Structure 1
Amino acid sequence: MGNCVRAVMMVSAVMTVVAVSTPVASADSLRDFYDAPVPTIAAAAPGEVMRTKAVNSPKGFGLGFDIERILYRSTDTHDEPMIVSGYSMTPTAPWPGPGPRPVIAYAPGTSGMADRCAGSAVLGTVGSSPAILPLLLAGYRVVATDYQGLGTPGGHTYLNRLASGRALLDVARIADEDAPVVLYGYSEGGFASGAAAELAATYAPDLDIVGAYVGAPPADPTLNIDNLDNTTLGSAVLFAVDGMINAYPERAERIRSLFDSDGNAALDAAQNWCSTDPAAGDIVETSDLTRDGRPLAEQLGNPVFAEVTAVNTVGRIAPSMPVYLSHAVRDDTVPIEQSRTLLRRWQESGADVTYREYDFPALPVTGANHSPGALAAYADVLPWIADLVRES
């Protein structure tokens, strides 16, 4: 684990310097890339690339990777075609192994709701690069999704099972047809990777998916409210409600009706936040925002929420490929009970799951106990992936 952690810290510093010193595309040209209409979307196949734009830096900032932004076609919650943005990073060195270069379909963690925090945006590319560096150094191509509504027009459908899972499967389709694929995600990305693993057999049977890494997933919406409410992590609760509103516009009025004027103002404001914004770190107490004064956790039995949370729970379908599931025991952002519940549900359905818990001493800072589980997992997951692609 030590080498992986040091590599991540090193590239984080490098990418931060590069972000300041390397010319990037103008904001206007980037907005054109994301926002210009794609008139052929109706005729496009899932995963078909509709537009590309090279990151304005030679060979991945001198680190030996070709990087480009992509727009591709996917399918939304209502089975309608949608345009999703993302990016591709490919090592310039030849793949040393047999067969085509393996592909990591990468689902990023929570970055916020605003377009500027999308993984393929200038801010997002710098933020996500340290997380995928160990995968790139192993020689894999990484193709990443921004999810619906991050970068591209429309609201982000945060923690929506169908939209997130399909977006990850479709970004995998941009790679070589015969390449082995591994789904990979942590936190929000773990949710998307788990959702994609469940959907793959029916939505993307053409892909050669050899495994899925699912890290610290908020798999069941009903298990992830109490620990965030009345804390500086409460913006994630607002993101979750906004994700429902964005994914189900036909339910938006009913959802909003449960909140008072301050609550609706907070939901509207959160649509424009990145997780790193100061406002996203303010304490959110949902009992101050609901119309009846009850906290959001007590509202989940209301049919307005219950129907949505039920269809967006991961763990009801057995993945058709091996899964590596991991979580830090003292995670204070996504409770360990999420993975323990998901493990039980998947095992009961017959899934092939390798499970690992990491028991670190708790850090005395709210939210600081979430990321260590992602760093620790590299030492276990990278050999697991190598075995999968070797046997494929």
Structure 2
Amino acid sequence: MSVRKRIAVAIIAATIVGVGFGGPAAQAAASRGVTIPAFYDPPAALPADNGALIRSEPLPLALSLPGIDSPLPGRATRIMYRSTDSTGAPVAVTGAYLEPAAPWLGLGPRPLVVLAPGTMGQGDQCSTSLALQRGLILGADDGQTTVSIGYEILAIYRMLVKGIAVVQTDYPGLGATDRLHTYVNRVDEGHAVLDAARAAKALPDTSLTARSAVGFYGYSQGGGAVASAAELQAEYAPDVRLKATYAGAPPADLADVTASIDGTELVGALGWSVSGFMQSEPSLKTVADKYLSDSGRAALADLSTMCVGDAIVGYAGKHSSSWTTTGQSLAAVIKAEPALRSFIDAQRIGARKPAGIVRVATGVNDNLVAHGQARTMAADWCKLGGDVVYAPINLPATGSPLVNHLAPLLTDQGDAIDWLGYRLAGLPALSTCAILPMQQ
């Protein structure tokens, strides 16, 4: 068993029995046979200000071409910056800033888009910044294999060729080695997105200015992260000049998504959620102790070092009821336990008016990150007076929930990036709240 696996098992076990965890003991040099560069080890002391740079270094891109003045489509910098997690504690977050080689042809200074990645996994080797450098990440250690593909590269490069600067966040604990990734934690992710914008503008020798408009882009987990960031901007980061947000297939209601994802190709995401919830809210350890079986504890420990591809191969089609002592599903446990239900309810996105204009796209046949709950988020924002462009994506349903979820990402990505680019160029967009009741 690898060092990282032993640590993951210890973390989950400690969580169940009520022993604290975190700090230096949670650090590791490798995950499933993949070496994590020392850059990703946070220092003991963090800066005082949110968005402050902790460190940076040049990031060689796996996919680039030589150019006259700089590589094409741009030059990358790996970053670590300070944010604040959902408990109010400081946290180090990693990511990457990409300076385009192409000029910005819109009005005003070059804009910045914060890209929040879709589901990558929970192992540190799964971070998007590492994937930008390596493209395809393969590892094997003591019979454990891992595969991570930098699928967000396509969206990033599409924005770079438009002259839009991009900074992507890895989220707390995905890359940074001091904690588990708190998967789909609304506040952790929203803060990480907002502070990534601050960190990018703090970088020296970029073409960004204080007047550079900011946009957010994310799909699936990333859609929830940018939707949360748009809600939190006014209170947490009013200095971030947020102009527009693209939120695709956001998991806005985790109780609903938990029920829809169980038994599908991506059921492993439920394990990431549970492990992250327990790290963010230690009181949930008593609920876990009550319901998690030995096989459930082993599954969570195994998943905590996996990337999304690993989880699909290892857990597709399984049900969370096989992880509990009572045979109840995770959705049923949420309904039965007030403390867990309260925590999940607090994760709901849609209860706060978002800043800027938001394009909410969701596949009408998406039964993985259920279409209905994403549409409800858009409708709730409209009721709060938000500026919303609701874009239902109507594609044929398939027998695969994963395909039903990913197909809208691929078919809508070009339109989404064009829409975001137009907003950053100063072109207005009208809210479609008035016609949302007539849309699917």
The answer, yes or no, to whether TM exceeds 0.5 is yes
Distance 2:160 2:91 in 1: 28
Contact preservation (8 Å) 1:213, 1:325: yes
Whether 2:156 is the aligned partner of 1:156: answer: no
Matches within 5 A, 1:373-388: 373-388=408-423
For 2:114, the aligned partner's letter is A
Asked whether the 8 Å contact 1:59–1:65 carries over to 2, the reply is no
Q: Distance in 2 between matches of 1:36 and 1:229?
A: 34
Question: How many Å separate the matches in 2 of 1:334 and 1:228?
Answer: 7
SS at 2:260 equivalent: coil
Q: CA deviation at 1:108?
A: 0.3
User: Where in structure 1 are there 5+ consecutive unaligned residues?
Assistant: 1-26
Residue equivalent to 1:143: 167
Give the Cα–Cα distance (whole angstroms) in 2 for the partners of residues 110 and 385 of structure 1. Answer: 21
Q: What is the aligned partner in structure 2 of residue 80 from structure 1?
A: 89
* SS class of match (1:246): helix
Q: Distance in 1 between matches of 2:253 and 2:211?
A: 33
Matched letter for residue 323 of structure 2: L
| 1:65 aligns to 2:90 (yes or no) | no
Q: Does 1:32 align with 2:38?
A: yes
The AA in structure 1 aligned to 2:338 is P
Distance in 2 separating the partners of 1:84 and 1:125 = 20
**1:125 Cα offset (Å):** 7.5
Task: Summarize deviations over 1:99-133 as a string: whole Å, max 9, x none.
Answer: 22110111000010000001111346733212322
Matched, 1:285 2:281: no
- Work out the CA distance in 2 between the residues paired with 1:57 and 1:342: 36
Please report the RMSD computed on the Cα atoms of aligned residues, expressed in angstroms. Answer: 2.1
- Relative to structure 1, the CA distance from residue 348 to residue 57 in structure 2 (aligned partners, 3 Å threshold; closer, same or farther) is closer
**CA apart distance, 1:36:** 4.9
Residue 197 in 1 paired to residue 230 in 2? yes
Matched, 1:270 2:303: yes
Cα deviation code 1:134-158 (max 9, x no counterpart): 2112110110100010000200010
Q: How do 1:79-228 residues align onto structure 2 when only pairs under 5 Å count?
A: 79-121=88-130, 122=134, 123=137, 126-152=150-176, 153-173=178-198, 174-175=200-201, 176=208, 177-228=210-261
Aligned match of 1:9: none
Q: Distance in 2 between matches of 1:58 and 1:178?
A: 31
Shift of 1:280: 4.1
Residue in structure 2 matched with residue 16 of structure 1 by the alignment: none
Instruction: Give the 3 Å change call, closer, same or farther, for CA 73–365 of structure 1 in structure 2.
Output: same
Whether the 8 Å contact between 2:73 and 2:161 is mirrored in structure 1 is no
Q: Is the 8 A contact 1:216 1:338 kept in 2?
A: no
Given that residues 118 and 151 in structure 1 are in contact (C-alpha distance below 8 angstroms), is that contact kept between their aligned partners in structure 2? yes
Q: How far 1:304 moved relative to its partner? A: 2.9
Identify the range of structure 1 (110-119 vs 84-93) with the bigger mean alpha-carbon deviation.
84-93
The amino acid that maps onto 1:298 is A
CA contact under 8 A between 2:284 and 2:340: conserved in structure 1? no
Distance in 1 between the 2:44 and 2:104 partners? 34
Matched residue, 2:404: 369
Q: CA deviation at 1:366?
A: 4.2
C-alpha separation in 2, matches of 1:106 and 1:249: 30
Query: Which runs of no fewer than 5 residues in structure 2 stay unpaired?
Result: 1-33, 67-71, 138-147, 202-207, 428-440
Amino acid at match of 1:166: H
| TM-score normalised by structure 1 residue count | 0.87
Residues 1:349 and 1:293: Cα distance change in structure 2 (over 3 Å): same
What is the letter of the counterpart of residue 422 of structure 2?
Answer: D
1:51 counterpart = 2:84: no
Distance 1:383 1:182 in 2: 12
Contact 1:255 1:304 in 2 (8 A): no
Q: 1:359 aligns with which of 394, 399, 423?
A: 394
Instruction: State the alpha-carbon separation in 2 of the partners of residues 282 and 266 from structure 1.
Output: 13
5 Å-filtered alignment, 1:288-307, equals 288-301=322-335, 302-307=337-342
1:340 is displaced (CA, Å) by 1.4
User: Displacement, 1:168?
Assistant: 0.3
Q: CA deviation at 1:59?
A: 9.2
The answer as to whether partners of 1:107 and 1:193 remain within 8 angstroms in 2 is: yes
Distance 1:64 1:390, change over 3 A: closer
Q: Deviations over 1:342-388 (max 9, x none)?
A: 12211111111100111111234341121221123234323322332
Distance 1:361 1:182 in 2: 30
The 3 A distance-change label for structure 1 pair 369 and 125 is: closer
Given that 2:216 and 2:246 are in contact with CA atoms closer than 8 Å, whether structure 1 keeps it comes out as yes
Contact 2:234 2:355 in 1 (8 A): yes
Number of the residue aligned with 2:376: 341
Alignment of 1:230-241 (within 5 A): 230-241=263-274
Q: Aligned partners of 1:291 and 1:219: how far apart in 2? A: 29
Query: Could you say which residue in structure 2 is the equivalent of 1:322?
Result: 357
Q: Is the 8 Å Cα contact of residues 363 and 369 (structure 1) preserved in structure 2?
A: yes
Alpha carbons 2:102, 2:162 under 8 Å: kept: no
Say whether residues 1:248 and 2:257 are aligned partners.
no
The alignment covers a number of residue pairs equal to 364
- For the Cα contact (< 8 Å) 2:249–2:374, is it kept in 1? yes
Question: CA offsets, 1:241-300, max 9 Å, x none?
Answer: 122122223433433432111111111111111111165443321122112211111111
